Every structure is written in C-alpha cells, then in structure tokens.
Amino acid sequence: MRLLAVRQLVLSVLVVVLTVAPHQGGDRKKEAAAPGEKVIWLDPADPSLFDFQYGLAGSEQAPRPPFSFVNEDLSRTTPKINVTDARGVRWNVKWGDEAVPSIFCTRLASACGYLVEPEYFVASGRIDKVHDLQRVRRYVLDDGSFVNARFQLRTDSPKYLKGEYWPLVNNPFLGSREFAGMKILMLLVSNWDKRDSNFGIFEDASAGNRRYLYVQTDWGASLGRFGNPFTRSKWNCKEFADQTEGFVEGIDKGRIKWGFGDWDDIRVSDARWLLQYLGKITDTQIRLGLSTSGATAQETDCYAQALRQRIDQLQRAVAVQTTRK
C-alpha cells in the first residue's frame, strides 16, 4: 500500500502540472529537438483502483465556482471559452458532441498508463461577465448559465511546445508496445481523428532534468462510428455498437486484423501487453466513468456493454494466439 500511495503522489503531481495553453495553429510536423528523456507512458500499477470519476488529479483539483469569463477560444471547430475559477485557476471549457467522450477517454487512457490532460465534467454552472460570444452562444445563456460542460485545466508548467507535434507516422516510439497500445485504445473507442496537432509535446524541467511528455491532447472524436469523412461520427452509441461485433476480425501472421481502420502493424504481443492493464478495468469503473462524464443512463448502458464486448474480443484473440503457440 505504501508503494501504491507513493506512486499515486508522484503521478498526481505529474498530471496536475501536465496541462496546456490553448492549442492553435496548423499541423506542423515538428518535434522537440533538444536532448531529454521522452515519455509516453508510465506504469499505472493496478488499474482496478483507478478513480474513473475524477481521474488521477482527484476531486481536490476539480473546478470550483464561481467562474469568470476570460475570452472565447475560436481555435479548431468545437465551441470553447476560457474561464478562471474561484481559486484563480484557468480552465478551457468545451461543449458539444466532443465534451463527454473527451472526459471519459482520458480516464480510460490514464487508467492504462498514458499521459493525459486533467478534465472534469460540470453538469451546470454560471460564468460571470460573459460578452461578445460567437460559437458558444448556443451553450451559454446571456446570464452566463450553462449545462453539460467539459473543463480542461490550463497552467504554464510544463511548457506546451506550440507547433511541436509527434505525428503517428513519425515519432520516437514507432515499433514500441507503448505506442501500439495507444493505437489499440484509439481503435477501442473508435477515435478517428489522427491529425498531427492532436499529439502534443510538453517540456518539463520541474525535476531538474529536462524531459518531454508526449500526450494525445484531443480524444473528442470518439465513441461513434469509425469511418471516412462521410460516414464517421462522434458520441453516437448506436453507430458505435453497430461496429462492435466485428471489432476484431482475427489474426494474420501474428498481427491483429481489425474490423475498421488501416493499422495492420499491431502485434498480438502488443495487445497482450496492453491487456495487463486494460483487462483489469471493471464494468463498474466503466459505468462510473461514463455517468460522471455526462452520459445518460441509457448511454451508459449502451457504451458499457459495447466496450466490454470489444475488450472481450481482444482478449479472445490473444488467448487463441497463445493457445496455438
């Protein structure tokens, strides 16, 4: 228990500071060139103990009202604004069909050891001094009241390297089980948004030695249909469930054949490694994570069942390959 407590303390410090200034600009295929340790994953110990309600940062770091308006964030395509809370902490607030999947998927990824940005669901609230709203007007009333928002923490340390990305086709982790595990999670939740700018780099010198934290910064395009620009969707459980039966099609020469997507380089051994962590996550945790991210009771039932079916398919495929050996 002492080792677990120490680990949680260390990771909590990391996650609390692992926050980001607004992400803007186009997709530039750059990567931090300065020397330093590169980190994409940390051992999560026992994922069955992970807090799916508040995430690794815990309830203590949750946003506290009253909220004050700073400005509207017009970057990317989803409606967002920047606010401060009662403690003066800065938050980026998002609405729409990316809000709930973003929160839940960061919980799932964090439980499996991947670095994420702290996010919280706020069911309702009020933002003081809102003015001159554009895209957010449909979500924030004239008096500043709102419902069903994703709050993402913003601080200055570690430093978000604006314009520095790690493209999925060119990064320091190619061929590693940790990178393959992240791609499996993306497929598990049907995250189809592979833009370079969704994969940010943070420079952290808080411990004395410089290191770079490699983070998938946007999980919003998830939990819908995986497909092309004409067929794909976000936060649509019927379409998510419709693709679930054929999530894993089989195994070919030690690699997993997926029912969708174009990743044919994920090895069975990669899935076996990830399932050491993913396989320990319980249905209770999944349901708690969904409901406290803003899913309705019906949506929670639908997604919890589909996600369990997908994980079971992955476990069966790994078991069959192991038996054949």
Q: Got the DSSP string for 278-305?
A: HTT--HHHHHHHHHTTT--HHHHHHHHH
Q: Burial level of 217, CB count in 10 A (0-12/13-18/19+)?
A: buried
Rounded Cα distance between 138 and 147, Å, is 11
**β-bridge pairing 145-154 and 67-73:** unpaired
What per-residue confidence (pLDDT) applies to 185? Answer: 98
3-state SS assignment for residue 251: strand
CA–CA distance, 274 with 176 (Å, rounded to integer): 12
Q: Torsions phi, psi of 258, nearest 5?
A: -100, 155
DSSP state of 23: P
pLDDT at 3: 30
**Long-range contacts from 2-11, C-beta under 8 angstroms, 24+ separation:** 4/45, 4/46, 4/49, 7/43, 7/45, 8/56, 11/42, 11/56
Measured distance CA(189)–CA(195) in Å, rounded: 16
The pTM of this model reads 0.89
Q: What is the pLDDT of residue 205?
A: 86
- How far is it, in rounded angstroms, from Cα 56 to Cα 34? 29
Rounded to 10 deg, the angle between the 177-188 and 297-324 helix axes is 140
Distance CA 75, CA 79 (A): 9
Predicted pLDDT at 10? 38
Comparing CA positions, the residue from 183, 65, 178 lying closest to residue 125 is 65
Low-confidence ranges of the chain (pLDDT < 50): 1-33
Tokens of 216: 């998938």
Give Cα separations from 143 to 82, 146, 277 (angstroms): 16, 9, 45
In 10 A of CB 101, how many CB atoms? 28
